[in-house]
Structure 1
Amino acid sequence: MEKLLLAAHVLAGILFVGPVAVTASLFPRYAPVVGPPPGRGAPDRSVATALHRVTRGYGVLALVVPVVGLLLAGVQGRLGEGWITAAMVLTAVAGGLLALRVVPIQREALESPDDGTRLRGLRALTGVFNLLWAVVVVLMVVRPGAA
């Protein structure tokens, strides 16, 4: 059971979180802006719309990652370990950032383009989202303080 949960946890992370990291990062490049795009590739509303749809859809599917991770930690008897708690907190922060900031800002950018100011903020938020997941992966590999 433990190996099955571990495989499901890793695969879900790769197949669901990975695409969200990529599509959320690419979205600002293709999102429509008012006026000429400052130093960017040509905006393409259809590409931006597809990237938003994938970010949103795979973001929901990515909920499998922490659910299976918690089951795995329970089976392994590791729920009380600090690195698991830290990973859960960072995962919750990343998920909240995606659901409450990144996806809504993408939607706003599609509905009412601005001069690109909103997209600069979105780039920063997406970078934080990706950094949080990178730290979670490092915690999963290094497991500081693991018994």
Structure 2
Amino acid sequence: MNKFFLTVHILAAILCVGPVTVATSMFPSIAKRALTSENTENSQNADAGGLQVLHRITNVYAWASLAVPVFGFALAGSMDMMGEAWLIISIVLTLAAALVLAFLIGPAQASVLAGVGGTTEERSAVLSKAKLLSMTSGIFALLWLVVLVLMVVKPGHHRG
């Protein structure tokens, strides 16, 4: 059963967390372009459409990525590893990444989407959120990178 839990855990991390991380990192640059340029209407529509797709990917795959900790907990429980320091740190960092996504990235993306089609004043009002998204999406990706390293290296792990 451990191999099943491990397989689903890794597969969910690749297929769910990966797309969320890519979508959140792509969103800020397209948002800044959409909010600052005086492009043609077709170009603005393309940017707005791209932002909607990235926001949708972020939301849908964020929910799907809940499978990662679910199967991770199942695996850790079946292997009696819940007390390992690297695992506890990974759990805390995963929770931090989820909170960054839910309370910083998601709402900021929604605000930017609401302002993209607006007037120049409305677009400039949400430009700061688009700029802040570059940092928060970088923090989100960095948290996942540290979790990945901890999962591979397992510092202080006492089993083979």
Measure the CA separation in 2 of the matches of 1:36 and 1:4.
49
Task: Name 2:37's counterpart in structure 1.
Answer: 36
**1:77-134 residue CA offsets vs partner (Å, 9 max, x unmatched):** 1001101100000000000100111011000000124333211111100000000000
Task: Name 2:25's counterpart in structure 1.
Answer: 25
Task: Name 1:15's counterpart in structure 2.
Answer: 15
Structure 2 length normalisation: TM-score? 0.85
Measure the CA separation in 1 of the matches of 2:67 and 2:109.
23
Measure the CA separation in 1 of the matches of 2:115 and 2:24.
18
Q: Report the secondary structure of 1:77's partner residue.
A: coil
- Tell me how many residue pairs correspond in the alignment: 142
Q: Does 1:136 align with 2:128?
A: no
Displacement after TM superposition at 1:36 (Å): 2.1
Equivalent position amino acid for 2:37 in 1:
P
**1:14-71 residue CA offsets vs partner (Å, 9 max, x unmatched):** 00000000011111122231x427xxxx650001001000001100111110111011
Identity percentage of aligned residues: 41
Greater percentage in helix = 2
Q: 1:101 aligns with which of 97, 100, 104?
A: 104
Q: Report the secondary structure of 2:19's partner residue.
A: helix
Structure 2 stretches lacking a partner, 5+ long: 117-122
Equivalent position amino acid for 2:28 in 1:
P
Q: 1:81 aligns with which of 68, 79, 84?
A: 84
Displacement after TM superposition at 1:145 (Å): 0.9
Q: Report the secondary structure of 1:79's partner residue.
A: coil
Q: 1:63 aligns with which of 66, 72, 76?
A: 66
Structure 1 stretches lacking a partner, 5+ long: none
Measure the CA separation in 2 of the matches of 1:61 and 1:36.
34
Q: 2:57 aligns with which of 50, 54, 57?
A: 54
Measure the CA separation in 2 of the matches of 1:125 and 1:27.
11
Measure the CA separation in 1 of the matches of 2:19 and 2:148.
15
Structure 1 length normalisation: TM-score? 0.92
- What RMSD over aligned residues (CA atoms) do the two structures have, in Å? 1.3
